[in-house]
Amino acid sequence: MKLFLDTADINEISELNQTGLVDGITTNPSLIAKSGRNIIEAIEEICGIISGPISAEVTATDYHGMMDEGKRLAEIASNVTVKLPLTSDGLKACASLRSQNILVNVTLCFSTAQALLAAKAGASFISPFVGRLDDIGSVGMNLISEIAEVYSNYNYSTEILVASVRSVQHVVDAALVGADVATIPPKIMLQMYKHPLTDKGLADFLADWKSTGQSIL
């Protein structure tokens, strides 16, 4: 499963990219606003750091506006993935942009029916929001399982990009049900490294090594 970072913070992206584990980036208007950056400049800089897909979201809500903004965002770099909302106009724009070989991430998906429409519109990625479904008492990961089954039934090429990830367990569950991608906040990626037994084991090994008085160099 690929791991994307859900952030527009250049410093976080640069630092975590050094791990070699970052496969792409997702942004949205809220993350861009939080960064305080101009959206075009921010996406351009991110594309210079990460070679994988970089999702940049339109702000227009009508078809023609989405098309104009989508084309402008796609001009920034070849790895820009235009992010569109899962609405009637959004799916119409998705089909049009895909016909021009522009990558599209259809976002704000909350049902299997919506995901089916996005796949039929040719979406490169579908972004179901598991955390927000959990917030209202649903089990967000059940949606991922259903989408994975439907896509498998018909060999859709749309990749399932699990969004609104709130915990390391969300990442693990996404991998267990066969999601293609999980987009995660930087803090969640850092938490994935951690386990108390790892820390304890390392401390024990180092104490034993110190007691020998030896040095490898």
Residue 207 belongs to some domain of the structure: no
Residue 211 belongs to some domain of the structure: no
Residue 106 belongs to some domain of the structure: yes
Residue 216 belongs to some domain of the structure: no
163 close to 6: Cβ distance less than 8 angstroms: yes
Return the SS3 of 177.
Answer: coil
Catalytic residue annotation: 83
| CATH code, domain carrying 167 | 3.20.20.70
Q: Which residues of 47-76 are buried (b: 16+ CB within 10 A; e: fewer)?
A: beebebbbbbbbebeebeebbebbeebbeb
Q: Distance of CA 155 to CAs 116, 120, 148, Å?
A: 12, 11, 10
Residue 204 belongs to some domain of the structure: no
Residue 120 belongs to some domain of the structure: yes
Adjacent-strand bridge partners of 54: 25, 80
Domain count of the chain? 1
- Give 79: exposed, middle or buried? Use CB within 10 Å, 0-12, 13-18, 19+: middle
138's enclosing H/E stretch is none
Structural domain range at position 56 = 2-192
Written as tens digits, the pLDDT of the chain (217 aa) is 999 999 999 999 999 999 999 999 999 999 999 899 999 999 999 999 999 999 999 999 999 999 999 999 999 999 999 999 999 999 999 999 999 999 999 999 999 999 999 999 999 999 999 999 999 999 999 999 999 999 999 999 999 999 999 999 999 999 999 999 999 999 999 999 999 999 999 999 999 999 999 999 9
Residue 197 belongs to some domain of the structure: no
Helix, strand and coil in the chain, % to nearest 5? 50, 20, 30
Residue 185 belongs to some domain of the structure: yes
How many CA within 13 A on the CB side of residue 125?
A: 33
